[in-house]
């Protein structure tokens, strides 16, 4: 730049001595100055500022556990999270959303009667060891599920009649009946193709680290201590943002909190105590991220036995519940109020319970008096809860509900609890007449929040004994059609009926919450509650 200026000025002096007018000299000077300025601007604007460096390793801490590494057997959310990062299905969810997109497949077609789906796989797929992956491996995993009949096998066996390999990149699923949400099922681990080198056809391989075709592959695993994942060099999609993911397992939430505060880990993930989050939000070195999650909390009534065979009693107690107080006092605002069984991130929902209100004590009193109760003849309620899934907030939720119901002056509430196995048995056998429960979906579709609750063949787990032929027919009709708007209209009718008959009372939907160091970027939380490691990195 200095040389350019000197040459230009020298040239200007030379021509001025050859009888150019002073005006001409001024014009030339202006042109030269403008050219210099433009050159300076161009050079400045094209020089990029220094980019932050990314760490090759990211450390995640959790209190969860990997139960075992076989997708034919695994049936818990955290294990599904790990499997979603080391395996991949024909379909998957876009990180940060609950939208289905293509994984190993690139397209599919559906027969006119809705019972046959043909999926076209992408070309050149490979497992994480470089072994080619084709349609035969998709069938291999489905055959394994049928052969082993392990815990989540119903996600396959209840729907799939047969599987046929059409060619190396095309596979056909023949279903027992039209199933509009079948693509969502293909985004669950039982359908994910596995490397045959580590997963035998007719037996479960709980400790296999062979993996599949996900963005990461397993480098090492010490059960309940540490899992190390490395970027899969054969992944068909964009390469992971971080080369190595280290997952450390902690014994409890207090240990996890200390680890993230001390900088021993970059991310604290599932689960911290809700009461600790407020302090962590104030820590300048940390960030707290949250989005709506897929799990919901609700009350279940035994609609067959007194006193809850009277819909007026069920409606009265539903009206008296204060969802906002439950969210704040029991869960420290780590949940949000829910007014239908279908959570907020899904389509086709109708908040039909809003018409009953929150803490609507007057309506509750009116209905209870109509049902024959009074200050001298109070409704006696035994409310059950368990701390197994919700921890101490489960007990606190029960206390808040007890207080709300007793504010009517017409209800007397006693609390009871049980450990998880007994709680589930009590529920299925109708022993608990009203109890608190949570639901984690298997697939993200409104059907998975309605069929398991309201169709008699599917709700035996609940002990609510609800059976409404109109509701069942509406749900079954929605399963057969693929038009989303038409399905949504049917589901809204179902939710309106449920708010009148009240076999269940929706209370809250959860949040997916993470605490991370400030330098952690690329986190895309979503309602699946399954963290995708692909996009996450740490700036150093």
290 DSSP assignment: E
In degrees, rounded to 5, the angle at the alpha carbon of residue 224 between the alpha carbons of residues 220 and 230 is: 25
Question: Does residue 27 carry a pLDDT above 70?
Answer: no
Cα–Cα distance, 144 to 150 (Å, whole number): 9
Among 295, 291, 289, 297, smallest CA distance to 526 is for 291
Q: Give the residue-averaged pLDDT of 412-419.
A: 97
Q: pLDDT for 463-520, tens place per residue?
A: 999 999 999 999 999 999 989 999 999 999 999 999 999 999 999 999 999 999 999 9
Q: Where are the alpha helices (DSSP H) in 46-97?
A: 77-86
Average pLDDT over residues 324-351: 96
Distances (CA, A) of 382 to 307, 389, 432: 11, 20, 8
Q: Point out which residues pair with 92 in neighbouring strands.
A: 101
Q: How far apart are the first and last CA of the chain?
A: 35
Q: Model confidence over 142-177: pLDDT tens digits?
A: 999 999 999 899 999 999 999 999 999 999 999 999
DSSP designation for 328: I
The angle formed by the CA atoms of residues 197, 198 and 199, to the nearest 5 degrees, is: 105
DSSP code at position 150: -
Mean of the pLDDT values across residues 226-235? 98
DSSP string spanning 8-55? HHHHHHHHHTTT--HHHHHHHHHHHHHHHHHHHHHHHHTSPPPPPPB-
Go through the domains of the chain in sequence order and give each one's CATH number.
57-285+518-538 (3.40.190.10), 292-511 (3.10.105.10)
Mapping DSSP to helix (H, G, I), strand (E, B) and coil, where does residue 509 land? Answer: strand
Q: What share of the chain is helix, strand, coil (3-state, %, to 5)?
A: 35, 20, 40
* In contact, 505 and 453? CB cutoff 8 Å: no
Tell me, what's the pLDDT at 445? Answer: 95
Q: How confident is the model at residue 66 (pLDDT cuts 50, 70, 90)?
A: very high
Total residue length of the chain: 540
The pTM score is 0.85
Between helices 484-501 and 469-480, what is the axis angle to 10°? Answer: 160
Read off the pLDDT of each residue in 398-414 and give the average, rounded to a whole number: 98
H/E segment holding residue 487 = helix 484-501
Mean pLDDT, the chain, rounded, equals 91
- Give Cα separations from 415 to 251, 324, 330 (angstroms): 29, 21, 16
Structure tokens at 1: 């730049």
> Coil, strand or helix: which one is 168?
coil
| pLDDT-derived band at 52, boundaries 50, 70, 90 | confident
Whether 24 has a pLDDT exceeding 60, the answer reads no
pLDDT at 47: 55
Segment (H or E) for 472 = helix 469-480
> Residue 269 to residues 62, 443, 527: CA-CA distances in angstroms?
5, 22, 15
Query: CA-based diameter of the chain, in Å?
Result: 119
Beta bridge partner(s), residue 336: 509
DSSP for 351-415 reads -GGGGG-SS-HHHHHHHHHHTT--SSSPEEEEEEE-HHHH-HHHHHHHHHHHHHHHTTSSEEEEE
């Amino acid at each position: 730049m200095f040389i350019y200026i000197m040459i230009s000025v020298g040239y200007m002096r030379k021509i001025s001595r050859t009888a150019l007018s002073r005006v001409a000299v001024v014009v030339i000077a202006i042109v030269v100055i403008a050219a210099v300025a433009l050159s300076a601007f161009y050079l400045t604007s094209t020089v990029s500022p220094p980019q932050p460096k990314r760490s090759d390793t990211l450390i995640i801490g959790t209190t969860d556990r990997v139960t075992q590494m076989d997708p034919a057997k695994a049936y818990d959310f955290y294990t599904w999270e790990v499997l979603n990062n080391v395996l991949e299905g024909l379909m998957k969810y876009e990180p940060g959303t609950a939208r289905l997109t293509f994984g190993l497949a690139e397209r599919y077609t559906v027969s006119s009667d809705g019972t046959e789906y043909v999926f076209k796989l992408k070309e050149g797929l490979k497992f994480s060891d470089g072994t080619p992956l084709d349609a035969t491996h998709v069938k291999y995993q489905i055959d394994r599920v049928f052969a082993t009949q392990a815990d989540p096998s119903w996600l396959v066996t209840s729907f799939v009649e047969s599987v046929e390999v059409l060619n190396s990149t095309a596979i056909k699923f023949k279903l027992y009946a039209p199933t509009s949400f079948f693509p969502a099922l293909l985004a669950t681990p039982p359908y994910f193709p596995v490397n045959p080198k580590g997963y035998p056809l007719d037996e479960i391989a709980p400790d296999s680290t062979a993996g599949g075709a996900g963005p990461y592959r397993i480098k090492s695993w010490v059960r309940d201590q540490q899992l190390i994942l490395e970027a899969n060099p054969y992944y068909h999609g964009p390469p992971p943002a971080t080369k190595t993911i280290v997952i450390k397992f902690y014994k409890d939430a207090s240990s996890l909190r200390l680890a993230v505060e001390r900088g021993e880990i970059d991310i604290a993930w599932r689960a911290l105590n809700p009461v600790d989050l407020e302090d962590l939000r104030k820590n300048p070195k940390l960030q707290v991220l949250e989005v709506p999650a897929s799990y919901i909390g609700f009350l279940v009534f035994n609609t067959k036995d007194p006193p809850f065979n009277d819909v007026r009693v069920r409606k009265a107690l539903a009206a008296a519940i204060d969802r906002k107080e439950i969210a704040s006092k029991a869960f420290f605002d780590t949940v949000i109020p829910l007014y239908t069984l279908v959570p907020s991130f899904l389509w086709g929902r109708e908040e039909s319970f809003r018409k009953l209100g929150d803490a609507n004590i007057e309506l509750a009193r009116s209905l209870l008096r109509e049902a024959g109760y009074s200050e001298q003849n109070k409704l006696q309620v035994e409310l059950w809860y368990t701390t197994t899934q919700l921890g101490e907030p489960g007990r606190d939720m029960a206390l808040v509900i007890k207080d709300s119901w007793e504010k009517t002056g017409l209800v007397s509430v006693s609390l009871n609890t049980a450990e998880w196995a007994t709680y589930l048995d009590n529920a299925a056998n109708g022993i608990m007449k009203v109890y608190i429960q949570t639901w984690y979906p298997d697939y993200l579709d409104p059907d998975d929040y309605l069929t398991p609750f309201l169709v008699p063949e599917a709700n035996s787990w609940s002990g609510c004994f609800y059976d409404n032929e109109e509701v069942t027919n509406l749900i079954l009709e929605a399963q057969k059609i693929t038009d989303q708007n038409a399905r949504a209209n049917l589901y809204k009718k179902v939710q309106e009926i449920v708010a009148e008959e009240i076999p269940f009372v929706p209370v809250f939907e959860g949040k997916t919450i993470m605490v991370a160091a400030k330098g952690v970027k690329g986190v895309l939380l979503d309602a699946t509650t399954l963290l995708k490691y692909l996009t996450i990195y740490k700036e150093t």
